[in-house]
Amino acid sequence: MKNSTSPCCCRSETNGKEHNRRGFLGQATAVACGAVALATPTVAGVVTFLNPLRQKSQGGQFMRLASLETIPQDGAPLKVPVIADRTDAWSRFPAEPIGAVFLRRSGGGVTALQVICPHAGCSINYDAAGRKYFCPCHAASFELSGKRTDATSPSPRNMDSLEVEMRDKNQVYVKFQMFCVGTTKKIAQA
């Protein structure tokens, strides 16, 4: 009588199961290695792409802009460029103009106004003859205090004032910021 489970048959069934296990283990290892190989450049690419979002901007920092002696004593404004290191995404530009500010002596102190028009972002000028500021883009005009001269002005708000501190014996520091244009509220840009 012949035994249905011969040693020869058992060996081939066992070899087949071992072969299947080895094949599965090899495939699982290959998939894991492939996932690691794919994840590494993907994560590096995402981190590099999002890096500019993590960098801090220079907006909102006090910067030395002038000494008190350089600002006219008669109340006329002085337009002062704001120079700082600028970072644009991954490029860095050292000591570059990033804006400008009107500095003016008033009431025993110094006031600072942003030169960007709150209407559409044009650069505001100073009219020495009329002793007022004006925006050449849409004919908006402002008093020396920065207040709109006309309620029907296209500018939605007064000129944006900036914080000023006197430090180091007559050095004028201004907290330079940019603000959103075209809104009635003064909203600092990030």
The residue segments making up the domain with residue 32 are 1-54
Instruction: Tell me how many domains the chain contains.
Output: 2
pTM for the whole structure: 0.67
Range in 34-48, 105-119, 124-138, 158-172 the model is least confident about: 34-48
pLDDT for position 22? 67
Report CA torsion sign: 129, 135, 137, 139: negative
Q: Does one domain contain both 25 and 99?
A: no
| pLDDT reading at 160 higher than 80 | yes
Range in 21-35, 90-104, 117-131, 149-163 the model is least confident about: 21-35
How confident is the prediction for the chain on average, in pLDDT? 82
pLDDT for position 58? 44
Q: Does one domain contain both 42 and 66?
A: no
142-162 in b/e burial notation, b at 16+ Cβ within 10 A? Answer: bebebebeeeebebbbbbbeb
- CATH number, domain containing residue 71: 2.102.10.10
pLDDT for position 52? 55
